[in-house]
Amino acid sequence: GKAKPGDLLDLMSRFLESPGNVLLLQGAPGTGKTTLTLELLNKAKGTRIGPHTISANKVYVSSRVSSSKLHRHFPGVHEVLDSMSGKEAASSGTRLGGDGRIAGAANIVSRILALKRAKQKGIIVVDSWEGAVANATEERRNEMETAIFQDLEESKLSAVIVSESENSPKLDYLVDGIVTLSLSHLEDRTVRSVIVNKLRGFRLHTQGALFSLDGGKFALLPRGEYHFGQNGSLDPKLLSPVRNTEGSYSTGSPDLDALLDGGVRKGSSLLLDVNSNVSPHSVKLLLDIMAANFVNQGGTTFIIPYSIFSSQNEAESLKVYVGDRVLGERVRIAEFNQALPDEKWRVKLSGKLTEDLASFNNTWNELGAVSSARMMKYDFDKTVQLYGEALGL
């Protein structure tokens, strides 16, 4: 069945239930990594023995959040270590061994090794990796990597590594799962997104979602309901269109229009060059607003969906802004999966150039009969991959 965004959090939690798995949470400062980490710790289950449950050991190596705050808000965290000194917070629970006189990385290593010797189900969190190894010699860093990344499964442990980098090539090969958090701004809105890059051993039905940190809680947002509620497509709350001018089509954003000297000049092309640090969901939201602004002023559009999104994803998010009727009349979306059911807005393509050009021309002419204002919105990389660079241009 179709996965809900909330399933992503459940998947991450189930991933950490498997001993030996190491999850890398990466993203720039302020993207919500610590909040997500603590949410995952809260969801961690203990070991059932008959009618009783022995709670999982939870050890938090922190360089970014005060120990007192962690204990106050998350009493389920059993032990908090300051990654700069390696010392346990005064308010922590039972020690698991290790010499308190050993400073920094060495003390953290001894704590982790003691936890591994206990062979009790648990989770180790290092938040952040950069803070934990900041003052460590290469030898100490190697010791820490060995302590965290080797033999976790036999010790019944899993681990979460938090990185302040949006791309962590030095850690990628050591971990079993990677989740990337990102933050962007669209006019006066803050857009937070999470992408699950990989979870070894788990099938991903959906790779990303938007989320909020309202009330200090990590909460995934339902798809297509971020602004208008469940029945938005039946009774769409149309965005107030940013009006086109005589010579240009508006992008739907006055700020972006100003950068483009009034919008997208009629008859021209606009290339959005997106680097790997930008969330596909953020790009898609911008493109949806551009298309909706165009269609809601009488235009028509043909779309080859961006990146990881299917025609169904595209239709469901776009109809929130334009409604079902307009979607069927003035929007056409390409789909390369021939097994999907027919829809008025869905144009099935084969990936074969000659066949698809004929289908595209028929659809383009059909849209032209509805309105002379037509927009083609497509993923350049996907088009080049399918048909070659000459056609992509």
For the chain, what percent of residues have pLDDT higher than 90?
Answer: 25
Please state the rounded mean pLDDT for residues 16-34: 90
The tens digit of pLDDT for each residue in 320-359 reads: 889 899 999 999 999 988 888 999 999 999 989 999 999 9
Domain boundaries, the chain: 6-220, 248-392
Is 80 exceeded by the pLDDT of residue 4? no
Give the integer Cα–Cα distance in Å for 383 and 81. Answer: 50
Cα-atom radius of gyration of the chain, to the nearest Å?
A: 25
Q: Is 286 helix (H, G, I), strand (E, B) or coil?
A: helix
Q: Residue 46 — pLDDT band, cuts 50, 70, 90?
A: low
Whether 278 contacts 251, CB under 8 Å: no
Q: How confident is the model at residue 3 (pLDDT cuts 50, 70, 90)?
A: very low
Given pLDDT bands bounded at 50, 70 and 90, which one contains residue 36? very high
> What is the pLDDT at residue 104?
54
Query: If you average pLDDT over each of 155-164, 175-184, 187-196, 364-373, which comes out highest?
Result: 364-373
Give pLDDT, residue 2: 41
Q: What is the pLDDT of residue 43?
A: 83
pLDDT of residue 179: 92
Identical fold for domains 6-220 and 248-392, yes or no, is yes
More confident residue, 8 or 249: 249
CA-to-CA distance for 392 and 387, rounded, in angstroms?
7
**According to the model, what pLDDT value does residue 358 have?**
94
pLDDT at 1 over 50: no
Q: What tokens were used for 366?
A: 């059909």
Residue 312 has pLDDT above 50, yes or no: yes
CATH number of 248-392: 3.40.50.300
Q: What are phi and psi of 331, to 5 degrees?
A: -125, 135
- pLDDT per position as a tens digit, 142-159: 888 888 888 777 878 888
Contact 292, 251 (CB under 8 A): no
Q: Residue 250 pLDDT > 90, yes or no? A: yes
Picking from 95, 145, 97, the residue whose alpha carbon sits closest to that of residue 117 is 97
Higher-confidence residue of 141 and 346: namely: 346
At 310 the pLDDT is 86
Q: What is the pLDDT of residues 159-185, one digit of tens each?
A: 899 998 877 777 888 888 999 998 887
Does residue 94 have a pLDDT over 60?
no
> Stretch 294-305: mean pLDDT, rounded?
95
So what's the pLDDT on residue 49?
63
Extended strands (E) in the chain: 22-26, 47-49, 52-54, 57-62, 79-82, 122-127, 157-163, 177-186, 189-199, 208-212, 219-220, 248-249, 264-265, 300-304, 331-335, 346-348, 374-378
Average pLDDT score over residue span 195-207: 80
How far is residue 132's CA from residue 105's CA, in Å, rounded to a whole number?
A: 7
pLDDT of residue 301: 97
Query: Is pLDDT larger for residue 225 or for residue 162?
Result: 162
According to the model, what pLDDT value does residue 79 have?
57
Distance CA 373, CA 241 (A): 15
Q: Is the pLDDT of residue 119 over 60?
A: yes
Q: At a CB cut-off of 8 Å and minimum separation 6, what does 220 contact?
A: 5, 6, 8, 9, 194, 209, 210, 211
Whether pLDDT at 93 is above 50:
no
The residue length of the chain stands at 393
- The per-residue pLDDT for 108 is 75
Task: Report the percent of the chain where pLDDT is more than 70.
Answer: 78
Contacts of 138 by beta carbon, 8 Å cutoff, 6+ apart: none
Instruction: Flag whether pLDDT at 186 surpasses 90.
Output: no
Highest-confidence segment of 36-40, 75-79, 146-150: 36-40
Quote the CATH superfamily of domain 6-220: P-loop containing nucleotide triphosphate hydrolases (3.40.50.300)
Mean pLDDT (the chain) is 79
pLDDT category of residue 92 using cuts at 50, 70 and 90? very low
- Average the pLDDT over 35-56 and give the result: 75
Say if residues 21 and 203 touch (Cβ distance below 8 Å): no
Q: What is the pLDDT of residues 264-282, one digit of tens each?
A: 999 999 988 887 777 778 8
The reply to whether the predicted model has a pTM over 0.75 is: no
User: Helix, strand, or coil here: 333?
Assistant: strand
